[in-house]
Amino acid sequence: MISGTLVSPLPVFVTILSILVLLVVLKFRRSNGRYPIRPFPRDMVLLHQCGKGPHAPSLSPFIMKLETFLKVAQIPYQIVRDYKMGPKGKVPWMEYNGMVLCDSQLCMEYLIAELNLDVDAHLSTKERAVSTSFQRMADEHTYWLMVHWRWAIDKDKICFKEANWGIMALAVSAFLQKRATKTQGVGRHSKTEILNIIRRDFEAFSNFLASYTFCKGTKKYFFGDRATCVDCSVFSQISQVLWHLPNSEPQNILKNEFPNLVEYCHRMKDNFWPDWNENILISTDS
């Protein structure tokens, strides 16, 4: 009589997933080797990014951030949806007058210096310090809370399925992003802790937006009646919760407890994205 043991399917799945992840990484590395500059009109930004989002122009807040900045600063640009990672292995990235530039914040800072833009020029030293603090908070903290909820807690992945992501792409992305949030630290918190931290981030944004510290009356944007760089960061991060975490607890907190942030997102959308519906997969008025 031959005896045998049952083999658990989990190690097999992990092995297959690891191989797929390795293949994806190698593919990105191969595609990142050379970046020929395209012939294009001078002073025109070529913005490299991925596909459209279902309810907002991108599922990436950093793509939203950089494109919103280009609109706020009124810089001519063209979108290149080539799904190609930039030299640093991420999107968005851009080409501009023979330069290849990566990272949304660094792209913005380069354009401000190169074009001598006055997007933040009217801010005082104190306001600039506050602006930098909120930008870092949005991009380096609120972002990770959204990522962890999106990939580790949300089991439905509705918006990704609406954007036609396949099962394998979802599995590989979830594996990579959950590992990233655990390394960053947010992924080690419980669901209750995550919600409390998200609420405190929203509260900080909401209270400052409603404050009278920098101007009298109701502020349209973070520093009055003119959108600045920090608005591009805050809007892009909150927009993912508002439009790409449907029926989630973070979205409910945002809508029920911080209506001024919801109004702020719609104000940014209405004032700087007249082509919003042309840049999303599922048109909506909500």
**Closest residue by Cα to residue 234 from 68, 74, 107:** 68
Instruction: Report the pLDDT averaged over residues 23-38.
Output: 51
**pLDDT tens digits, 5-18:** 444 555 555 555 55
pLDDT value of residue 14: 53
pLDDT value of residue 3: 44
Name the helix (H) or strand (E) containing 258: none
pLDDT at 211 over 70: yes
**pLDDT tens digits, 48-67:** 999 999 999 999 999 999 99
Q: How far apart are CA 225 and CA 212, in angstroms?
A: 13
SS3 call for 118: coil
274 preceded by a cis bond (ω within 30 of 0): no
| pTM of this structure | 0.87
SS3 call for 190: coil
If pLDDT is split at 50, 70 and 90, which confidence band does 112 have? very high
- Residue 97 falls in which region: left (phi positive, over 0), alpha (psi -120 to 50) or beta: left
pLDDT value of residue 16: 58
Instruction: Report the pLDDT averaged over residues 212-224.
Output: 73
